[in-house]
Amino acid sequence: MSTRAAAEAWESLFRTQSNLMRRFESGGDFAPLRSREYDVLFTLSRAREGRLRLRELNEAVFLSQPSLSRMVERLEARGLVAREPAPDDARGTVVVLTEDGREMQREIGRRHVRSIRRHVGGALTEEELATLTDLTTRLRAYRP
């Protein structure tokens, strides 16, 4: 495996993700939220009981800790998440998806999945989609 091949593969993956995200955003997939706000709701919706420690949430999304904290404050003000003290750590915070947040995530998610089907599923066969899923899963799991 050459360094060049690895760099070209990464560049292709990164540019494809950026291109698709621009399409999703311009199509209004995430309205009335921003894509990163939706990512927070989506991540919480997949967590056990819709709750994660702030630091766990920070590990799952692509935001700095201060930016995530400010975003959680904005989402809390809109009633989409709630913050609670961590039961086993007085300094820790748990972020919880509220019922309004869960409903917002589902509404946006349904629209977004249709857009994913159009932009991703329309370009690739079932077999190619399975291969892409396998490759990206392996990349996420790999720890040299």
Range 135-140 average pLDDT: 94
Q: What is the pLDDT of residue 14?
A: 95
Number of H helices, E strands in the chain: 6, 3
Segment 52-74, tens digit of pLDDT: 999 999 999 988 889 999 999 99
Q: What is the pLDDT of residue 89?
A: 78
Which DSSP category does 49 fall into?
Answer: G
Segment 7-64, tens digit of pLDDT: 999 999 999 999 999 999 999 999 999 999 999 999 999 999 999 999 999 999 988 8
Q: What is the pLDDT of residue 87?
A: 85
Name the phi and psi angles at 69, rounded to 5.
-60, -45
Q: Residue 56: CB partners within 8 Å, gap ≥ 6?
A: 47
Task: Match 């609670």 to its residue by tokens.
Answer: 84
Element (H, E) at 59: helix 54-60
Q: Give the C-alpha separation, 35 to 47, whole Å.
A: 18
Q: What is the pTM of this model?
A: 0.88
